[in-house]
Structure 1
Amino acid sequence: MLQYVDLDSIKYDFIRENREDIPAEFSAYSAMWEKSAEHFVDLFLSYLDRRGLEIRFKQPYI
């Protein structure tokens, strides 16, 4: 079964969930980390797209 997902939603879920793992001593850099993480996800998705690759989930993404 082919399932379409909202990549922006996945990207921002990734950022939100991992923001909680930033050590307290680095909290002043959290905004910078978020921009860096957002850019990384965009680069990774572009990399997959350029190579004609796709992401497949082991379980349905809800």
Structure 2
Amino acid sequence: MDFVVDYASFLAKTVTLVIAIVVVLVAIASMRGKGRRKTAGQLQVTRLNDFYKGLRERLEQS
């Protein structure tokens, strides 16, 4: 029975260590990704006035 308890303790410690390493790696990757997104931003503006004006005229004619 001691073997099972020792093995469970070892397994819990190992899983905890692996999870901690993964969390650190994900945090580093997230911080690196945020820096790249800021420089490549682009905004596209579409003028919709003519589209809605034509739509209104067609609805008024119906």
TM-score, normalised to structure 2, is 0.40
TM-score, normalised to structure 1, is 0.40
More helix by share: 2
Rg: which structure is higher?
2
